[in-house]
């Protein structure tokens, strides 16, 4: 069984991953270009801890579309490394890091200098999870003939919000930062 560090070493960089996305690439780069890292000194603080990050993701995932570029900005500012493992290419890794029994992505694994898993974050910031839960609750029951269309509309609207709402970006950044603060304290 491969370690998280081995997956990190075999994974592509976040830049190479984003450059080679076949789905939601333009949308991911829209977030990347428009998100401004807060001037809170956290990137400089993070740089002192020699962490590296392995993101379990897929390019079709709307949550990954918004989360990966935000975390990439922080990691680049801290001059650290972020690599990517594709969830569906080898499910052994994601199966070690399930969310409520599911293979939810993105899942960001935090590794120390020795390659040991010291924390993880994902798949969403709590505020975003609440928004998604509320939106799903308004959908008709799955047996309703309108369910598929209403679900599609919901996900399209959610994706637009992810791409354009700076509050979402702030939720993601602050949630990830909070997790890292617990790790580096």
pLDDT in tens, 134-153: 999 999 999 999 999 999 99
d(CA 137, CA 10): 39
Number of neighbours of residue 13 by Cβ within 10 angstroms: 14
* pLDDT tens digit sequence for 48-75: 999 999 999 999 999 999 999 999 999 9
Kindly state the percentage of the chain with pLDDT values over 90: 99
pLDDT at position 67, please? 98
Find all residues with CB under 8 Å of 84, minimum gap 6, and list them: 11, 12, 13, 14, 17, 54, 55, 56, 57, 68
- pTM for this predicted structure: 0.95
Provide the residue ranges of all domains of the chain, joining segments of one domain with +: 4-124+166-184
pLDDT at position 161, please? 97
Query: Structure tokens of 151?
Result: 């679900």
136 HSE (CA, 13 A, CB side): 7
Domain 4-124+166-184 maps to which CATH number in 3.30.590.10, 3.30.200.20, 3.30.565.10, 3.40.30.10? 3.40.30.10
């Amino acid at each position: 069984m491969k370690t998280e560090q081995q997956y990190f070493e075999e994974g592509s960089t976040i830049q190479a991953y984003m450059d080679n996305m076949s789905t939601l690439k333009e949308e991911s780069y829209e977030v990347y270009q428009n998100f401004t890292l807060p001037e809170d000194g956290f990137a400089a603080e993070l740089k002192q801890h020699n962490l590296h990050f392995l993101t379990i993701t897929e390019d079709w995932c709307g949550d990954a579309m918004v989360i990966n570029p935000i975390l990439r900005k922080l990691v680049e500012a801290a001059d650290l490394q972020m690599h990517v493992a594709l969830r569906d290419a080898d499910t052994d890794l994601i199966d070690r890091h399930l969310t409520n029994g599911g293979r939810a992505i993105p899942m960001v694994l935090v590794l120390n200098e020795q390659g040991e898993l010291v924390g993880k974050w994902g798949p969403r910031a709590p505020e975003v999870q609440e928004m998604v839960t509320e939106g799903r609750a308004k959908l008709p029951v799955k047996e309703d003939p309108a369910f598929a269309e209403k679900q599609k509309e919901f996900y399209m609207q959610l994706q637009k919000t992810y791409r354009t709402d700076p509050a979402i970006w702030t939720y993601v950044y602050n949630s990830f930062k909070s997790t890292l603060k617990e790790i580096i304290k």
